[in-house]
Structure 1
C-alpha cells in the first residue's frame, strides 16, 4: 500500500514517542517496493521513514533490521561512512513501517557523479572496498545467505532457467548469458561480504565524501561484482575504470580480473529478473517495461557486439567496440529486481562440488554411462555428447567405450555386416593406395544395408544442425533481430520522443548513447 507524505509523518509520530513533525518531504527509494519520506521535527532533526508496499518488501525491511543490529559500535567506528539505525517502528496490518535516525548527505545521479569532484571517485571506491572487507560475522549473525563461487554460479543458472520458461526473452540474450554462466574460469572469485543492492541512491554524499550508505536489505556473502553492476550503466568509461583502479588499492585483497565482466552480466541479467518478477506479481507494467528493454538490449548487442562478458566470445557475436553501441546494460530499472532462489541457503562451503542443477559441465561426467540416444540435443556440449556412440562386444552388448574407427581398412563387399568393427592386424601395414571399385560394387554400396548391433551412426548435416539448437530458447522475434538500419531508425524515433516528452532514456539514463 502506498502512503502519502502526511500519512507517513503521522506514522513517524506513532513510531517515535515525542517526535513533533514540522515538515515532510518525499525521499528517493525503490519506488515499486517502498514509500519513503524525510520528516523534520521542531528541534531541527530529520528522520527517514520507509514503508513497504507489499509483503516481499516488508520481509526485506525486517532483514535490514537484523543487519543494522549486527553493526556493533566497534564495527561502525571502523567504517569510513555512517550506517543507519532504527529509531522506531509501527505496524499497519501484517507489515511494519520503520523510522530511521537522520543521516547527513544527499544522493546524486549518475551524471552528477561522473562530473563530481576528483576526490569523490576515490571515496566511492573506498566505500565499496570497506563493505567488501567487512567481517563475515555481520552476515552470519543476521542469518543471511552465504555462497561459495560455484554455488553462486549455479544459482545464476537456476535463475536463467526460470527466466527462459517465460518464453519472452530474446534467444540471443539467453545464449549470451548461458555462455558466460557456464564459463567456470569467469567465476573464479573469492566470496566477500556484498551489499547486494548498491547503486547511486544508496550513497549519501557531502562534497567529496560518501558520508553514509543506506539500503542494507540484501546483504550476503557472495560475488563482489554485484556491487559494481550499477557502474556499468555509467556513460563515462573513464569514470568506471578510475573507480575500479582505486578500489583495487583500497581492498585488503586483490580483486579478481573478471570482476567487471560479471558486473556487466549482472546488469544485463537484471532485465530478465525484472521480467520474471513482473510475471510472478501479475504486474503488466513491469512486464512491458522489461520486454522493451530486453528487446532493445538484444538489438544493440546483435548490431554492435555489446560489452565483453565471457572470456571466450561466442562465434555468432559481432566483433565491434562496446563504445559504439547505442545502449548499455541497466543495473536498476525502476526498483530493485530479484527472483526467488531455488533451494536453501548455503550455510557452509560443504557440497560445493555437487551443483544444484545438472549443467553441461556436470553432465559430461555421466554421459559415458548413459546411452547416447537418451541425451537431449539442447546445446553444443550436449550435441557433442550425443554423437558419442558405444562400442559393442562380441555378443552385441555395449561396452561403455567409444569405438575407434579403423583407418585404411576396406571391408569385402561380400561380407555380411556383423555389428562389430573389424580390427586391423598388427602385421598388416596400410599401403595408402585407394582400391578400385567397379560400377556394380559402387551401386551395391549405395543401397541401404540392414545392419544388426549398435554401429555408430554419423548424423547428417541437417540433424547435426538441429542438435546444436537450444530447445528451450524461443524463436528470435523481429524486434530482437533488427538490423543496423532499423536500429538507427529506432534511435531517431527515441530522439523525437525525447523532444516531445519523457522517454526511455530519461527514465533509464544507463541506456543513453555515449556522447
Structure 2
C-alpha cells in the first residue's frame, strides 16, 4: 500500500510523541519496497520516515536496524561519511515504520552525478573503499550472510536455473549469463563487506561533496562488484573509470591483488538483476510486474544483440597455446637439450678441429673422385628400388647400403676407404680393398672415424 508524505508525517508523530511537524516532502527510495518522506518540525529539525510496503521490505528494514546498531561510535568516528541513526519506530498493520535523524545532503540523479567535480568523484571512490574495509564484525554482529567467491557463483547459477524453468527469459540472455558464470577466472575475487544496495539514490551530496550513505538493508560479506552495479547504467565511461580509479587508490592494494574483473561482474550483476526482478514478481504472482520485467529483459536482449552490450565474460577463457619450434621433429626435440656455456668453463675447440678435418676430407675427396668412380665399376650391379639384391654377393651389397646411409647423414659426401691397424692407426687406401669378415676393415664414413678418434 502506497503512503503519501502526509501519511508518513502522521506516522512520525505517532512514533515520536511531542514532535510537531510543519512540513513533509516525498524522498527518493526504492518504489517497489518503501515509501519515504522528509519531515520538518517547528525547530527546523529534519527527519526521514521510511515505511515498508510489504513483509519482505519490512524484513529488510529490520535488518538495517541491526546493521546500524553494529556501527559503534568508534567505527563511525573513522568513517569518511555519515551513517543514519534511528530516532523512533511505530508499528502499523504488522509492519514497523522507522524514523531516522536526517543527515546533511541529498541524493542527485545519475545524469547529474556523472558531471560532478573531481573531488566529488574521488569522494565516491573513497566511500566505497571505506565500506569494503569495514571490519567483518559489523556483519557478524547483525547475523548477516557471508558468501565466498565460489558460493556467490553457485548461488547465481542456481537462480539462473530457476529463471530458465519459467520460460520467460530470452534464451540468448540465459546462454550469455551461463557462459559468464562458467568463466572461473572472473570468480576469484576476495570477499569483502559490501553495502549491497549502493547507487546514486543512497549517496548524499552536499555542496559538491559526498557526505553520507543510506539504505543499509543488504549489508553482507560477498562480491565487492555488487557496489558497482549502478555504474553499468551510466553512459559516461570517463566517470566510471574515474570512480574505479579512485576506489583502487583508496583501497591501497598491491598491484597483484587488484580485481581486474570487478566491472565485468558488476555489469553481469546489473543484467542479472532484471531476471531476479522477474522472479520476485512471479513469486508474488504480480502479473503487471511480470509483464514489465519480461519487457525489460527483451529490451536488454535486443540491445545486446545490436551493440554487443557490456563485457560480462560471455566468452570462455582459454590459455594461449605456445607455438612449437619449426623444423625440429618430436624425436629430435626430446633428444636435444639446450645447454648454456658456463662463463668459467673453457671454450671447447671441437668446432675448430672439425673445420680442419673437414678441409682434409674435402681435399681427399677431390683427389680420389676418379678412384671412387673406378670403385663403382667393380660392383656387378646396384639393385634398384624395386629389384631384389643379389643374394650371392651379400658382402658387396653391404658397402652400397652403408654408402647410401652415409650419404644421407653426411649431406652426400663421397666415402674414402680406411682401415685400422693393430697399433690403432687409421690408414687410407688409394685403391679399393677386398672385403673381409673383420668389421674393422669395412668401409666407414668419416663421421664414424671422428667418433672413434674422440673415444680414443
- Fold similarity call, TM over 0.5: yes
| Match 2:302 to one of 290, 296, 299 | 299
Once residues 143 and 69 of structure 1 are traced to their aligned partners in structure 2, the CA distance between those partners, rounded to angstroms, is 12
Q: Tell me which stretches of 4 or more aligned residues in structure 1 moved more than 4 Å.
A: none
Q: Is the 8 A contact 1:12 1:49 kept in 2?
A: yes
Gap runs ≥5 in structure 1? 316-515
Q: Which stretch of structure 1 is more off in the superposition, 285-294 or 120-129?
A: 285-294
Q: Is the 8 A contact 1:157 1:178 kept in 2?
A: yes
Q: TM-score, normalised by structure 2?
A: 0.68
Which position in structure 2 is the counterpart of 1:78?
A: 78
Once residues 308 and 177 of structure 1 are traced to their aligned partners in structure 2, the CA distance between those partners, rounded to angstroms, is 11
Which position in structure 1 is the counterpart of 2:140?
A: 140
The yes-or-no answer on 1:181 pairing with 2:175 is no
How far 1:284 moved relative to its partner? 2.0
Which position in structure 2 is the counterpart of 1:28?
A: 28
The yes-or-no answer on 1:62 pairing with 2:62 is yes
Gap runs ≥5 in structure 2? 319-456
What does 1:2-41 correspond to in 2, within 5 Å? 2-41=2-41
Which position in structure 2 is the counterpart of 1:241?
A: 241
Which position in structure 1 is the counterpart of 2:153?
A: 153
Once residues 255 and 79 of structure 1 are traced to their aligned partners in structure 2, the CA distance between those partners, rounded to angstroms, is 22
How far 1:304 moved relative to its partner? 2.6
How far 1:311 moved relative to its partner? 6.9
Q: Is the 8 A contact 2:176 2:314 kept in 1?
A: no
Q: Which of 1 and 2 has higher RCO (CA within 8 Å, sep 6+)?
A: 1
The yes-or-no answer on 1:194 pairing with 2:194 is yes
Q: Give the number of the structure whose residues are more often helix, by fraction.
A: 2
How far 1:182 moved relative to its partner? 1.3
Q: Which stretch of structure 1 is more off in the superposition, 146-155 or 13-22?
A: 13-22
How far 1:3 moved relative to its partner? 1.7
Which position in structure 1 is the counterpart of 2:386?
A: none
Once residues 150 and 285 of structure 2 are traced to their aligned partners in structure 1, the CA distance between those partners, rounded to angstroms, is 32
What does 1:385-424 correspond to in 2, within 5 Å? none
How far 1:313 moved relative to its partner? 5.4
Q: Is the 8 A contact 1:261 1:308 kept in 2?
A: yes
Once residues 123 and 314 of structure 1 are traced to their aligned partners in structure 2, the CA distance between those partners, rounded to angstroms, is 35
Once residues 183 and 18 of structure 2 are traced to their aligned partners in structure 1, the CA distance between those partners, rounded to angstroms, is 57
Once residues 241 and 292 of structure 2 are traced to their aligned partners in structure 1, the CA distance between those partners, rounded to angstroms, is 30
Which position in structure 1 is the counterpart of 2:440?
A: none
What does 1:19-418 correspond to in 2, within 5 Å? 19-253=19-253, 254-310=257-313, 312=315
Q: Is the 8 A contact 1:133 1:252 kept in 2?
A: no
Q: Is the 8 A contact 1:179 1:314 kept in 2?
A: no
Once residues 258 and 100 of structure 2 are traced to their aligned partners in structure 1, the CA distance between those partners, rounded to angstroms, is 33
Q: TM-score, normalised by structure 1?
A: 0.60
